[in-house]
Each structure stands twice: as C-alpha cells, then as structure tokens.
Amino acid sequence: MLLDLNHRQFAPAEAPDWGHFLWEELAALWNANDLAAAHDWLNERWSRLVRNRPGGQADPEARFLQALAFAVLALYFTQTGNQEGARLMLDDALVALARYRPRFLGLEVEPIVATLLELQPVIAGLAPDAECPLYPFVFRKLEYDRRLTP
C-alpha cells in the first residue's frame, strides 16, 4: 500500500459562528415534541463543529450539543417504547450536561436536567420495550435567554 504524502490543504478552522446556537429553532422543535427533528438539528450542528473546529469532538460547544442530543434521544426513546435506549441516553445526558449547569450559551440547562431526573425513576424498572409510562408525556419547555445568546 502506498501512502500519498503530498501536501494537502485542510479546510480552515471555522471561525465562531453563533448561528449554531439559534436556540429559537431548537426550542420550536423541542417544545412541539418533534424530537426526531430536534435531534437532526443538533446532529447537523455538532457534525459541523467537530469537522471544522480545531478541538473536534473535544470542543466544548460540540460537547454541549452532544449532551443535548443525548437528552433529546432519551425523551424520544421513552416515547417510542425503547426504554433500554432511553435509560442509556438519560444517564449519558445527565453526566454530559453536568458540566454546563446552570446555563450555557444562553440556554437554561437546569430545566432539561430536572426533566431527566424526574423521568429516571419512572423508567428505571420498565421492560426494555415497554410503552411510555407517562401519558400524556409532558416535559419542561426549552428555555433560553436571548440576551445571553451570542
């Protein structure tokens, strides 16, 4: 196998683009319980940050988006009868979100954590494919402070 050792230009690191953090878009999806679309919104921005920022996956903003994606998946999975997946994502979200409390980039993290902490004991003993134990499933709205959003 031959390696191509010619000099190649890498894409320049992306300058901070606060468009990643237009929480209005995410809040509209979250608050409408369109969690699949919320996950896609987060994933698209996370992928861009990982690809273009020098820190890659270690970039604090990329890690924050990933933590939010874990929370979204936990809520989505419990509603779609995947309690095992919900438990895994819930635990990952709680660990990942802990470093961003009480808020980060203008987004209130505490209400998200509170929702996950309320859900945790409810799904703890459920069968992996059990139906959602809460009907209607109500969770806290996504809150953000427009004045603190970059």
Q: What is the CATH number of the domain that holds 77?
A: 1.10.3450
Query: Does 83 fall in a domain?
Result: yes
**Does residue 71 lie in a domain region?**
yes
Question: Considering the domain boundaries, does residue 3 fall inside one?
Answer: no
- The count of domains in the chain is 1
Stretches where the chain sits below pLDDT 70 are 1-20, 147-150
Whether 119 is in a domain gets the answer yes
- Tell me whether residue 111 is in a domain: yes
CA-based nearest residue to 136, from 72, 87, 78: 78
pLDDT at 134: 82
Ranges of H-type helices in the chain: 23-31, 35-52, 60-79, 83-98, 110-123
Q: Report yes or no on 29 lying in a domain.
A: yes
For residue 10, the model assigns a pLDDT of: 47
pLDDT for res 137: 79
Residue type, 33: N
Q: Domain containing 48: what range? A: 22-123
Q: What pLDDT is attached to residue 6?
A: 58
9 belongs to a structural domain: no
User: Tokens 């996956």 belong to which residue?
Assistant: 57
Q: Is 144 a member of any domain? A: no
Q: What is the pLDDT of residue 5?
A: 55
For the whole model, what pTM was predicted?
Answer: 0.84
